[in-house]
Amino acid sequence: MGRGTLRIYLGAAPGVGKTYAMLSEAHRRVERGTDCVVAFVEHHDRPRTEVLLHGLEQVRRSEISYRSAVFTEMDVDAVLERAPAVALVDELAHTNVPGSRNAKRWQDVEELLRAGIDVISTVNIQHLESLGDVVESITGVRQRETVPDEVVRRADQIELVDMSPQALRRRMAHGNIYQPDKMDAALSNYFRPGNLTALRELALLWVADRVDEYLQQYRGEHNIRTTWQARERIVVGLTGGPEGRTLIRRAARMAAKGSGSEILAVYIARSDGLTSASPKELTVQRTLVEDLGGSFHHVIGDDIPAALLEFARGVNATQIVLGSSRRKAWQYMYGPGVGATVARESGPDLDVHIVTHEEVAKGRGLPIARGARLGRARIIWGWLVGAVGPVLLAVVLRSMEDAPGLANDVLLFLFLTVAAALLGGLRPALASAAVGCMLLNYWFTPPTHTWTVQDPENLVAIGIFFAVAVAVSSVVDLAARRTHQAARLRAESEILSFLAGSVLRGETALDALLERVRETFAMESVALLERRSDVEPWTCAGSVGPAPVARPDDADVDMPVGDNLALALSGRVLPAEDRRVLGAFAAQAAVVLDRRRLVGEAEQARRMAEGNRIRTALLAAVSHDLRTPLAAIKAAVSSLRSDDVAWSEEDEAELLEGIEDGADRLDHLVGNLLDMSRLQTGTVQPLIREIDLDEVVPMALGGVPEGSVELDIPETLPMVAVDPGLLERVVANLVENAVKYHPGREPVAVAASALGSRVELRVVDRGRGVPDEAKDRIFEPFQRYGDAPRGSGVGLGLAVSRGFAEAMGGTLDAEDTPGGGLTMVLTLAAAAGGGRPDAEPPARVTS
């Protein structure tokens, strides 16, 4: 009997409809005559799900006693005995009650699959083992019930049950997921729009990766080499020349014409390390393609067209973008070129675009020759062994009474040739072969002391000796060069990897980069010099080491970066082969310098814009909102001082009350202005201490009418680490703002709850609410939303509240109230000590 198949309905959160979809599929199979049973399904008192269970056969469950309670679990033996064609098993990640057959439900499912039973199951994305930490950072809740990713990946079919966060919250508000008593807590915590959006993105990305894996697996199993144009993937072939930027931008424009297109820039280097590419230009092109949303790839290959096509087919690319050749006309005698070869060999599944550019037919330049640096001493020893060694060997052999014979003489001379190649390279080895050949002919081949050879076999032996000596010396010299090149390339790759890592990490320490240059090239000092124009003097942007130079002309080595920037090194002269890595360092130094300046300029511009906006808003506030209460106070005072009217006691009391109200409004406005000024200048220094919320929140309700606020703080709520004075100001502003916009049908709700290491205080009103696009704007200074009457404030309350919350290490955000209205969510850090020292009755009062 074969193994059964597993089909999984995957969802982003509870309530998206996984069980409903599974039961609907079961009804379709039953109608087709399939033997389908319900092994275990929980409807969780959801009416629509419960209705779908009608008409389906349900296998009896097993009852297990645990801690004086009875629980029901799936009876694996009963399902195996029933042996249906298809079994429905809900909640794949469920942990069974202790005493069950298996610890996890997915292990029960494995038994059913091994018995040849097809299984349909459900699971949420947050229950995957590998995503536990990610889900906890998003929702603040650690998932205890998990299933290994491999179990889900092995499923024969995975179907995503998707639903937008807004639709899921509406379903929750209508009571289709949880009971009404749990609805508000769920909407306020786990089922927030941000949480649901993040979980939905996780589910979509996970399923998309699974689809890509299946596609690659299918193509591999069926040996499919052609491109399947499931999505546009554009490969840009780079040579390291200046035309690369044009090609990248052209590919970006092509990708922008279709949604979901992907750009992959690839540079192919030969395995011998010989290249004419500019490291600085490659760095610029890598930055450009990454800024445009693409990726950069470095591939090794001796056959450039074949390697490019292999890479393109490997990533399932649909288009290749290449530049017109930079070769001059006479250089085509060596071959048709990369572009023509790729276009000819691409086949019908790959479109090849040849893009013209300004560098066409201007020449490619010569590759950089990089020989082995053997050192002067080794080269001298190589020439001594190659030129003097054969003469000494001939003298020794001639002085021997019993000559070893021509064959052994040839081997001894060949040994000297190999030694010369190992010590001094190819030229001393060739010299050794030539000298040895002549000595063998003159001293050891009959007739001796002449340059003629009597026996043809001896002539062949000498000829073979010379050929073998040349071949062996060439191979040995090539091996020595490759060994040196490999060691050098490894060192260069480590350096370039460090530079790439510093770019990815966004490091902006110029001095650290210059110090790395000094250490890498063993220099005394390194300086980064710049100037504004060609006629202005050089200035030092950064330097390390003693006595850095002031001009590039005074340096032992200078590496220009553009026209007005140069990296100057003092200490020794670098060989030409080291300048490639130095160019990469110089390009990175320029990037770091530009990034540091751009960050400073952006911050300065932001501060100036913010200051101008606040000054403008302050003038508007002073011109109206401060004048209104002043005008009322002056009118009341003038009336009281007037001798023309005899005021009654009631009239005088009313005028005095107006003066007092105006003074209170002025005090409140000036207080908010001073608070905003403190926040803008960074002079707010909170005094953090641990305190209970119910000690602070009731004190903040003194400025609102009695009975307008309902307070709900659970007794199990942990203490918070805050500044009590600042917290009181924050809560007072939030409550007064909520009461101001509340229609008055029911009191404003102020509720607190604990979520991991955080405590949330939610101020809920049932007013008109605020659109999503305005939720961030209402926290800006001098902002009043909608039809707020003039004179009701300068729009600083929420800005001050958010500033104080952030100063205490918390956050303040706005959310929609289910059913209409606005909810202000104040998140505070829970005290390190945990809960309250003494249990108290629940603090649920009405103010």
Collapsing DSSP states into helix, strand and coil, what is residue 722?
Answer: strand
Secondary structure string (H, E, C) spanning 247-306: HHHHHHHHHHCCCCCEEEEEEEECCCCCCCCCHHHHHHHHHHHHHCCCEEEEEECCCHHH
- Which residues have CB under 8 Å from 234's CB, separation 6+? 251, 254, 255, 261, 262, 263, 264, 317, 318, 319, 320, 321
pLDDT band at 399; cut points 50, 70, 90: confident
> Which residues lie closer than 8 Å to 209 by C-beta, 6 or more apart?
none
Q: What is the pLDDT of residue 491?
A: 66
* Model pLDDT, residue 224: 63
Q: What is the DSSP string of 528-594?
A: EEE-SSTTSPPEEEEEESSS--SSGGGSSEEEE-SSSEEEEEESSPPPGGGHHHHHHHHHHHHHHHH
> What residue type is assigned to position 134 of the chain?
V
Helices (H) and strands (E) in the chain, counts: 25, 25
The model's pLDDT over 548-599, given as tens digits with 9 standing for 90+, comes to 888 887 888 888 887 788 888 888 776 656 777 788 888 888 888 888 888 8
Q: Higher pLDDT residue, 85 or 634?
A: 85
Q: Which of 635, 621, 668 is nearest to 797 (CA)?
A: 668
pLDDT tens track for 347-357: 877 889 988 87
Q: In what order do the strands lie in the sheet with 758-764?
A: 811-816, 822-829, 758-764, 748-755, 709-713, 843-846
> 758 pairs with which residues across the strands?
755, 829
Distance CA 544, CA 510 (A): 10
Beta strands 525-530; 351-355: pairing state:
unpaired
Helix/strand/coil for 352: strand
Q: How far apart are CA 469 and CA 434, in angstroms?
A: 9
Using an 8 Å Cβ cutoff, are 257 and 245 in contact? no
Checking if the pLDDT of 374 tops 60, the result is no
pLDDT at 501: 66
* Confidence (pLDDT) at 607: 75
User: Mean pLDDT throughout 506-511?
Assistant: 68
Q: Is the pLDDT of residue 369 over 50?
A: no
Band of the pLDDT at 508, cuts 50, 70, 90? low
Which among 334, 436, 451 is positioned nearest to 394, based on CA atoms? 436
Amino acid at 567: L
Q: Residues 596-632: pLDDT tens digits? A: 888 888 888 887 776 666 566 556 555 555 666 777 7
Confidence of residue 812 (pLDDT cuts 50, 70, 90): very high
Highest mean pLDDT: which range of 429-443, 722-736, 791-805 = 722-736
Least confident of 124-138, 619-633, 792-806: 619-633
- Say how far apart CA 231 and CA 252 lie, in whole Å: 15
CA distances from 719 to 190, 353, 716 (A): 22, 66, 9
Query: How far out from the chain centre does Cα 506 lie?
Result: 12
| Distance (Å, whole) CA 749 – CA 762 | 8
CB 294 within 8 A of CB 324: no
Stretch 122-138: mean pLDDT: 86
* Ramachandran category for residue 57: left, alpha or beta (phi over 0 → left; psi -120 to 50 → alpha): beta
CB 156 within 8 A of CB 2: no
pLDDT computed for residue 847 by the predictor: 42
- In DSSP notation, 32-92 reads TT--EEEEE---TT-HHHHHHHTTSEEPPEEEEEETTEEEEEE-HHHHHHH--SEEEE--T
Beta bridge partners of 128: 147
- pLDDT of amino acid 487: 67
- Identify the band that residue 744 occupies on the pLDDT scale cut at 50, 70 and 90: low
Q: Which helix (H) or strand (E) holds 597?
A: helix 579-624
Bridge-based pairing of strands 709-713 and 843-846 is antiparallel
CA angle, residues 835, 716, 718, in degrees to nearest 5? 35
Banded model confidence at residue 370, pLDDT cuts 50, 70, 90: very low
Output the pTM of the full model.
0.39
52 with 147: CB under 8 angstroms? no
Report which of 589, 597, 543, 535 is spatially closest to residue 563, judged by C-alpha positions: 535
Higher pLDDT, 377 or 829: 829
Query: Residue 675 — φ and ψ, nearest 5°?
Result: -60, -45
476-507 confidence digits (pLDDT tens): 777 777 776 676 667 666 666 666 666 556 55
Mean pLDDT over residues 727-743, rounded? 83
**What is the pLDDT of the chain when averaged over all its residues?**
79
Q: In the chain, pLDDT over 70 holds for what percent of residues?
A: 79
Handedness of CA 192, 195, 201, 202 (dihedral sign): negative
Q: Are 233 and 316 in contact (CB under 8 A)?
A: yes
Cα gap 784→786, rounded to integer Å: 7
Q: Which residue has the higher pLDDT, 508 or 830?
A: 830
User: Which residues, including other chains, have CB under 8 Å from residue 603's CB and lie 6 or more apart?
Assistant: none
Q: What is the pLDDT of residue 168?
A: 85
In 301-422 the beta strands, taken as DSSP E runs, fall at 319-323, 351-355
Report the range of poorest mean pLDDT among 425-434, 463-472, 757-766, 832-841: 832-841
pLDDT in tens, 236-289: 998 877 788 889 988 888 887 765 678 899 988 766 554 556 667 788 888 888
Whether residue 764 is predicted with pLDDT greater than 50 in this model: the reply is: yes
pLDDT at 791 over 50: no
The mean pLDDT of 194-211, rounded to a whole number, is: 82
**CA–CA distance, 420 with 429 (Å, rounded to integer):** 5
